[in-house]
A and B are shown apart, each in its own frame.
Chain A
């Protein structure tokens, strides 16, 4: 198969890395080659985070080049816009509609653009926003936004939904299992 490039973006602390892990493990469980990469530097919450997952028969570079992503998953609208140029023409974007202020905005040094969603719609015809935080809360924990997002994109991946569900089951700790399963299903239905 042709290489399928995924970019996952969000804010430090939102669980971007766990979502990346689920996709990478699912690719491995499907017998495909996969490279996953993110730059995690400083530990603090609140910085912009970007992660790459590349799936195919044989994958060399761990880095997705701008203009070549099949799918961009963003956990925050402004981050969707920040990395939208990673999409290839016709690429798909799924984003969480709940915004988080960058520190620059919080300090009154910059303004959060009011028209982020309009800009997204103009830049990408295949864009869809969901209320991932509400769905995660309904599933039992606001932190499960990442699983909601994975659930939402499942049907757009070159991977079987059952395999992804199995992987989430495997890596969920006891308490989180039920929440994650609900979040996955909630995302898929959104």
Chain B
């Protein structure tokens, strides 16, 4: 049967159809839907891990115990899981193991633009790079076969335009899961130096065998057309190339590590001008140039940063800018904001007012860095809010500065890797105010379950981690709950936390509005009372706006289609102009 599905859905389906037994991952755009779709299959076990390292390690256990296993994460997640990956490559697998990693060229929703192909080289493991949903589906099955045949973990890499683009997929016949024996094998699975040394030799030999496989596999195919131009490409760049230059000959790489040197040389020899069209780093190009092959167009003409498009490829090959229309200038931007009535709004209204240094983290609350809040001053990676605040406090103490830094982190990020930083702060006599926005979900990626949600990915009721005892157990004595919807109380709580020496933790327990579908009656502005002072606009809610220009003095109005009645804006009003409308809520967003 034909289906139209995204690359992520295709990988999930491929996993279910290829005898997949166990899947674990951590949410991260653009990889997130893969595991959610595995959950939807219904007949395959899967779970969210608190971070990518735990996910990959769990999947390693799954493979050792004999079930075909899949781990999913975004590119930066592999940094977290890399410790496991770089030794997993030595042990190899029992049942097939696939690590799916999603890159984000163009940084649609990421803090950096790292190219995961580097990890395949680094870990010396095979990597597949699908160009559409059908290939994503097929490559799961082939991936497991390669993994088992060569006793290696395999990386299946997507990019945003593969993960999220939908295309037509024809399903193959379903293979029933078959569980291999669970055996003790110390030299294979215990990486003491003596065993590791032998394994390293095997890894190098395996890479040579994989290279031979790459020479003959249909995953790497030559499409001969006009021999004037030959383009070596992979992934979504292949689709852009086809669009930009339908007559060009193409060497389409489906297996992108290790590279098929002979096939590349053969292709290069049969075309006049050789182009390498790869998004992000010059990974093919460096290797191909090192083979002594002349490359006419590569990163000399094609960008290292951002996504490719058909126009970008056309421009590089034809050496003339593509004809394109330009956008209307001067329109107001529409950046993402906290949802109407999100609890983060109250917190950031106060942090912005107090002008403290906020060490931030990865989550919806990162938007607190944008105007008009401007209340987040560093964001590095998952968990860094707390550890970086700790370092700031230490140097501040040495420098004799009185200011205490504030860290802001969400529950999911805290479980992921904030806990260890907080333990260090307690242990090392730190001095920061840590604010945990415990909204009981992984909000930014769409409301996934986590150890605080009380339910698993597959909907099974679960043990719920309680934040206060957890924080106390890490060594923090001052742990106080507060309500971010109450601006006065929030301000008082933060001031108290800043005045009290030593680590101090504030916890807001209001749930994510979006995930838990919370609805409240909208606010209305009494136009008689409103003076147009604009104090309420500081809360940065998209439901607010000024009345039309041309009137004597612009007043504020609330869009009843958008407002969700949290009342935070009303607390900013000194003129008693904002009131809840009784009755049904209208919010359409």
Chain A residues close to B by CB (< 8 Å): 11-14, 24-25, 27-28, 33-48, 59-63, 65-67, 78-79, 81-87, 98, 100-114, 119, 123, 133, 142-143, 145
Contact = CB atoms under 8 A, between A and B. Distances in A.
Given A36-B165, A43-B443, A106-B543, A112 B332 contact: yes
A27 B309 CA distance: 24
A106 B165 contact: no
B318 interface: no
B542 interface: yes
B155 to A, nearest CB: 22
B446 interface: yes
Contacts of B562: 100-101
A11 B328 contact: no
Given A11-B589, A41-B109, A85-B327, A46 B544 contact: no
Nearest to A26: B4
B24 to A, nearest CB: 22
B589 A46 contact: yes
B514 A45 contact: yes
A143 B4 CA distance: 24
A37 B5 CA distance: 10
Contact of A108 (B243, B310, B338, B546): B546
Contact of B514 (A43, A61, A103, A107): A43
19 contacts: A34-B168, A35-B165, A36-B167, A37-B165, A42-B444, A45-B339, A46-B542, A61-B242, A61-B309, A62-B165, A67-B323, A85-B325, A100-B562, A101-B544, A103-B337, A105-B332, A106-B543, A107-B544, A112-B332
B326 A46 contact: no
A48 B334 contact: yes
B548 to A, nearest CB: 7
Contacts of A11: 334, 589
The 3 closest A-B pairs by CB, nearest first: A41-B109, A13-B589, A47-B336
Contacts of B309: 61, 63, 65
Among B240, B326, B331, B538, chain A packs the most CB atoms within 10 A around the CB of B331
Interface of B: 2-4, 29-30, 108-109, 132, 160-161, 164-168, 236, 239-240, 242-243, 309-311, 322-328, 331-340, 342, 364, 367, 371-372, 443-447, 514, 534, 537-538, 540-546, 548-549, 559, 561-562, 586, 588-589
Nearest to A88: B325
Given A108-B534, A145-B588, 12 more contacts: A42-B336, A45-B340, A48-B335, A82-B327, A83-B327, A100-B542, A100-B562, A101-B559, A102-B333, A107-B372, A109-B371, A112-B545
Contact of A82 (B331, B446, B537, B549): B331
Contacts of A84: 327-328
Given A100-B562, A108-B546, A43 B447 contact: yes
A122 to B, nearest CB: 10
Contacts of A59: 167
A107 B540 contact: yes
A45 B542 CA distance: 9
A110 B538 CA distance: 13
Contacts of B160: 39
Contact of A28 (B168, B332, B339): B168
B167 A102 contact: no
Nearest to A81: B328
Among B160, B542, B586, chain A packs the most CB atoms within 10 A around the CB of B542
Contacts of A123: 328
A103 B542 contact: yes
Among A48, A84, A104, chain B packs the most CB atoms within 10 A around the CB of A104
Contacts of B541: 103, 106
B586 A142 contact: yes
A132 B550 CA distance: 27
A63 B337 CA distance: 26
A45 to B, nearest CB: 4
Contacts of B333: 48, 102, 104, 110
Contact of B588 (A102, A108, A111, A133): A133
B37 to A, nearest CB: 14
B545 A44 contact: no
Contacts of B538: 107
Contact of B371 (A28, A38, A67, A107): A107
Contacts of B540: 103, 106-107
A171 B31 CA distance: 24
B239 A44 contact: no
Contacts of A82: 327-328, 331, 334
A109 to B, nearest CB: 6
B4 A67 contact: no
Nearest to B364: A44
B4 A28 contact: yes
Nearest to B342: A44
B167 A34 contact: yes
A100 B561 CA distance: 9
A53 to B, nearest CB: 9
Contacts of A25: 4
Given A14-B589, A103-B542, A62 B161 contact: yes
Contacts of B331: 78, 81-82, 113
A35 B131 CA distance: 12
